[in-house]
Amino acid sequence: MFGDEVPSTRLIVPQVEKIIDETWEAARSQPGVNLFDGPMCRLESWAATPKRLELRFSRTSYKPFVGTNLYHADLADQFGSEILANPVGVSPALETSDGWLMFGRRNASVAYYPHRIHPFAGALEPRDGSNVFRAVERELVEELALKPGTLQQIHCVGIAEDQRLRQTELIFSVQVDRSRAKIEAGVKKDEHQESWSVPAQSAAIDAALANVETLTPVATAALLLWGRQNLGTGWFDQRCPEGRYAPPNRGGPP
């Protein structure tokens, strides 16, 4: 994998910038909300071959993300996708030493997808130096109180897009030298109210995916792409005809 920082190509439109300012102030005025316009990395472009993934990033921040992708992604229909902040997320399917895939159940205070199951995830930041693997490790250390070095393997297994947010997410398969119980004990409650886990087995993953309304789109992608990496492309292709997941009760695999 290769990543590089380049100048931003985000299109600046006065009307959009006004909406960003208004949305940001409205969000900050909500009781109990303490927003910080933290730095993030915008995905400018990507290209993939069977052996290489090339990524190009520029700099953005949380404020334009709130004002575009988070609350007004539909502005892209009027002004073009170039106006979106488009920060790139990093989301791992975390596999424990005793054979579980672990995610978190988001709490009520998060800005989007409250109470739904989501990876212990975050966004690539300039301090990561365009190193997406470093970003994954940083997020897991922060959210699960892990010590650096406990992650045994980190593989980028795909790229997904949350179509509601129109945001790109890099999906990872991560093996950790910790049991499910130890991961559960380390979950910090500022973002996730509790952990959620599923056995790293085909039937159990299918059962979890069938309840797709409890998962965020990124969690669904993480389970499917972990399966493609670890259970095979045939497993993945059966569940994602034409590249889209179809739950069993909607015409998917039995």
Q: Which of 8, 63, 42 is CA-nearest to residue 126?
A: 42
Is the pLDDT reported for residue 61 higher than 80?
Answer: yes
Q: Are residues 241 and 139 in the same domain?
A: yes
Any idea of the CA torsion for 15, 17, 18, 21, to the nearest 10 degrees?
160
**Strand 122-123 relative to strand 89-95, pairing:** antiparallel
Amino acid at 128: D
Over residues 220-232, the pLDDT tens digits come to 999 999 999 999 9
Is the pLDDT reported for residue 121 higher than 80?
Answer: yes
Choose from 26-40, 104-118, 200-214, 233-247 the range with maximum mean pLDDT: 200-214
Q: Are residues 83 and 106 in the same domain?
A: no
Give kind and range of the element (H or E) at residue 202: helix 202-210
Contacts (Cβ under 8 Å, ≥6 apart) of 190 = 107
Phi, psi (5° rounding) for residue 252? Answer: -90, -165
Over residues 156-194, the pLDDT tens digits come to 999 999 999 999 999 999 999 999 999 999 998 888 889
First vs last Cα of the chain: how many Å apart?
36
* Residue that wins the pLDDT comparison between 126 and 50: 126
20, 55, 87: which is the final residue of a domain? 87
87, 105, 133: which is the final residue of a domain? 87
CA distances from 244 to 27, 69, 215 (A): 33, 22, 15
Taking the C-alpha atoms of residue 9 and residue 248, their distance in angstroms, rounded to an integer, is 41
State how many domains the chain has.
Answer: 2
Whether the pTM exceeds 0.85: the reply is: yes
Q: Are residues 77 and 169 in the same domain?
A: no
Query: Taking residues 25-52, what's their average pLDDT?
Result: 87
Token digits of residue 251: 């015409």
Taking the C-alpha atoms of residue 254 and residue 252, their distance in angstroms, rounded to an integer, is 7
Q: Are residues 54 and 176 in the same domain?
A: no
Give kind and range of the element (H or E) at residue 238: helix 233-239
Give kind and range of the element (H or E) at residue 3: strand 2-5
Q: Which of 171, 182, 177 is CA-nearest to residue 133?
A: 171
Query: Taking residues 81-110, what's their average pLDDT?
Result: 94
Q: 142 by DSSP, 3-state: which?
A: helix
pLDDT of residue 249: 55
Continuous H helices in 5-104: 14-28, 62-65, 71-72, 75-79
Token digits of residue 174: 């991560």
Structural domain boundaries enclosing 150: 88-254
* Residue that wins the pLDDT comparison between 138 and 109: 138
Q: Are residues 229 and 120 in the same domain?
A: yes
Token digits of residue 130: 């365009």
Q: Which of 4, 9, 12 is CA-nearest to residue 46?
A: 4
3-state secondary structure labels for all residues of 19-33? HHHHHHHHHHCCCCC
* Residue that wins the pLDDT comparison between 23 and 2: 23
35, 58, 87: which is the final residue of a domain? 87
Taking the C-alpha atoms of residue 209 and residue 103, their distance in angstroms, rounded to an integer, is 13
pLDDT of residue 252: 42
pLDDT of residue 248: 62
Query: How much is the mean pLDDT over the chain?
Result: 90
